[in-house]
Amino acid sequence: MSDPYSSFISTGPGRKIARQLGLPQPANLRRYSPGQPLLTGPVLVTGSGAGADALATELLSWDLDIRRHAVPKEKLGAIILVLDELRTPADLEVPVLGVGSSLRDLMPNARVLSVSRTAADAADPAQAAARQGVDGLVRSLAKELRGGATANGVLLAPQTLTTSTSALAALRFFLSGRSAFVDGQFLTVTSDAGSPTLNHDRPLEGKVAVVTGAARGIGAAIARTLYRDGATVVAVDVTAAGQQLAAVVNSIGGTALQLDVTSPDAGQRIIEHAIDRHGRLDIVVHNAGITRDKLLANMDQQRWNSVISINCEAQLRINRALLDSEHFRDGPRIISLASTSGIAGNRGQTNYAASKGGVIGMVQATAPLLAPWGGSINAVAPGFIETEMTARIPFATREVARRLNSLQQGGTPGDVAEAIAFLASDAAAGITGDVLRVCGQNMVGA
Ligand code: NAD
């Protein structure tokens, strides 16, 4: 979808006018394409503990140019703050203020990342305060960075190493162009599970993935991205979208399955199709979703029920079938589309937000049920994404909505797809029951 303002700003005169008038100046985001280097420029890894040393050594093996101390005036591609040994809020001062001046040396599209521990498992209130402080720190810093630079964090559960497979995978995701529209967010690594990715351009080689609502928009982008990353894709959508579905499948191979996700046997049909046609089933992406907006005062039963049924109840029913199936036990992955509306709420969307909040609850409660099979389930919550759905929003509302985030622009369907592809990988096995927002750090709400 087009964003004429961003196109105008990317020209010399446009940039000058925006600067003079103090208008938003959205940067050209560095987005991933196969073969691209992970990032350009040296990476400053700060922190004096054993975890920081181990991480710096590991990152050297990624062919990154690692610095353990800032070199004055040197331009940096990334800063990684290792804060895994915090005991009190006072412990934040030295490492945090220590990188302050280096922030001026960040290149465009640079990354600032924290690696710290979850506050819920702290030994005492002071340690919990220090750990939770990192949350506020990173989210605020994300709002200060410019030029397409982002700040995100990796949270480690107890006993989880800074070099655990999923912690490293999360760091790589955040450093790369795959996370271009993820800003001010955290990924929590709950275990050392997961096998490292051998081919970073095709992390899903040999996997069979089902994507619902794949005929257009975000679903079509997910199907294309999973295919690009090596997966064979089963693209699911309603019969009425058959032509568009066929076009997607024609461009990526795989197979189409015309199916309404609310039908009682949807889970069984998905499993049978994947096994009969492709011999296995590894990944299910619940993307099919609808909006039927109305203020609650004017909400009718049809609007309410259709949204809850498609966006939430269908996923619960399909998951039940997946959990019962012997064909979904080899490190299975489920990724569900939530929405920032389901976290922060949105006027006119009580039904939609209830359904998407429901998805988050479902993901958290389903994670332990998949654990015995080395499985994971996570939600991805998009913010303003440039699709046919958001193109229909009236111009002024749309323009405000797309600028109200730290990156001052809308995301692309591909940005959402990259987050899903990452969570679908074997290396992300230690991340489960989590919610990752792909929203450029929405200013409004949570
Ligand atoms: P879209 O309307 O462009 O596409 C949705 C697809 O789902 C369509 O192809 C539709 O035919 C299919 N679908 C609808 N009901 C179905 C059913 N019962 N069975 C099978 N398929 C069905 O929507 P989109 O903007 O691409 O959104 C995709 C997902 O992302 C949705 O879950 C949506 O709630 C979520 N999301 C989108 C945005 C955004 O900004 N576009 C923001 C947050 C969340």
Q: For 36-51, how does the pLDDT look when each residue is reduced to its tens digit (9 = 90+)?
A: 999 999 999 999 899 9
Please tell me whether residues 381 and 247 are part of one structural domain: yes
> Is pLDDT at 445 greater than 80 in this prediction?
no
- The Å distance, Cα 349 to ligand 1 centre, comes to 15
Given a contact cutoff of 8 angstroms between Cβ atoms, the answer to whether 86 and 131 are in contact is yes
Interval 357-388: pLDDT, tens: 999 999 999 999 999 999 999 999 999 999 88
pLDDT of residue 57: 96
pLDDT of residue 187: 98
- Mean of per-residue pLDDT scores for the chain: 94
Please tell me whether residues 427 and 312 are part of one structural domain: yes
Among 189, 223, 249, the domain boundary falls at 189
Please tell me whether residues 14 and 40 are part of one structural domain: no
Strand partners, 113: 80, 152
- The Å distance, Cα 69 to ligand 1 centre, comes to 46
- The Å distance, Cα 311 to ligand 1 centre, comes to 9
- Which residue of 290, 307, 398 sits with most ligand 1 atoms within 8 Å of its CB, as the best mutation to test the pocket? 290
pTM summary value: 0.96
Please tell me whether residues 24 and 127 are part of one structural domain: no
pLDDT of residue 373: 96
Once rounded to an integer, what is the mean pLDDT over residues 178-190? 98
Q: Is the CB of 212 under 6 A from ligand 1?
A: yes
Please tell me whether residues 2 and 116 are part of one structural domain: no
pLDDT of residue 198: 85
Two tokens at 65? 């140019």
Please tell me whether residues 117 and 11 are part of one structural domain: no
Q: Can you tell me which atom of ligand 1 is nearest the CA of 314? A: 18
Residue 273 within a domain: yes
Q: Can you tell me which atom of ligand 1 is nearest the CA of 382? A: 43
The total number of structural domains in the chain stands at: 3
Once rounded to an integer, what is the mean pLDDT over residues 5-11? 73
Q: Is the CB of 344 under 6 A from ligand 1?
A: no
> Is pLDDT at 444 greater than 70 in this prediction?
no
Among 159, 189, 219, the domain boundary falls at 189
Interval 49-68: pLDDT, tens: 999 999 999 999 999 999 99
Residue 443 within a domain: no
User: What percentage of residues in the chain have a pLDDT greater than 70?
Assistant: 97
pLDDT of residue 401: 86
**Least confident window among 10-19, 236-245, 249-258, 330-339:** 10-19
Q: Can you tell me which atom of ligand 1 is nearest the CA of 262? A: 18
Given a contact cutoff of 8 angstroms between Cβ atoms, the answer to whether 378 and 435 are in contact is yes
Residue 195 within a domain: no
Q: Is the CB of 241 under 6 A from ligand 1?
A: yes
Q: Is the CB of 270 under 6 A from ligand 1?
A: no
Atom 1 in ligand 1: residue holding the nearest Cα: 217
- CA 400 to CA 190: how far, in whole Å? 37
List residues with catalytic annotation: 352
Please tell me whether residues 135 and 220 are part of one structural domain: no
Residue 166 within a domain: yes
- The Å distance, Cα 156 to ligand 1 centre, comes to 32
Two tokens at 179? 């996370």
Strand partners, 380: 337, 436
Residue 397 within a domain: yes
Residue 239 within a domain: yes
Atom 16 in ligand 1: residue holding the nearest Cα: 288
Residue 86 within a domain: yes
Residue 95's CATH number? 3.40.50.720
- The Å distance, Cα 351 to ligand 1 centre, comes to 15
> Is pLDDT at 330 greater than 90 in this prediction?
yes
Tell me the residue range of the domain where 166 lies: 31-189
> Is pLDDT at 12 greater than 50 in this prediction?
yes
> Is pLDDT at 237 greater than 90 in this prediction?
yes
Q: Is the CB of 387 under 6 A from ligand 1?
A: yes
Residue 61 φ/ψ, nearest 5 degrees: -75, -5
Residue 194 within a domain: no
446 band by pLDDT with thresholds 50, 70 and 90: very low
pLDDT of residue 21: 66
Please tell me whether residues 80 and 224 are part of one structural domain: no
- CA 132 to CA 263: how far, in whole Å? 43
> Is pLDDT at 1 greater than 70 in this prediction?
no
Given a contact cutoff of 8 angstroms between Cβ atoms, the answer to whether 235 and 222 are in contact is no
Interval 77-96: pLDDT, tens: 999 999 999 999 999 999 99
Please tell me whether residues 281 and 152 are part of one structural domain: no
Q: Is the CB of 261 under 6 A from ligand 1?
A: yes
Please tell me whether residues 259 and 159 are part of one structural domain: no
Please tell me whether residues 222 and 130 are part of one structural domain: no
Given a contact cutoff of 8 angstroms between Cβ atoms, the answer to whether 285 and 222 are in contact is yes
Please tell me whether residues 17 and 82 are part of one structural domain: no
- The Å distance, Cα 269 to ligand 1 centre, comes to 20
Interval 91-124: pLDDT, tens: 999 999 999 999 999 999 999 999 999 999 999 9
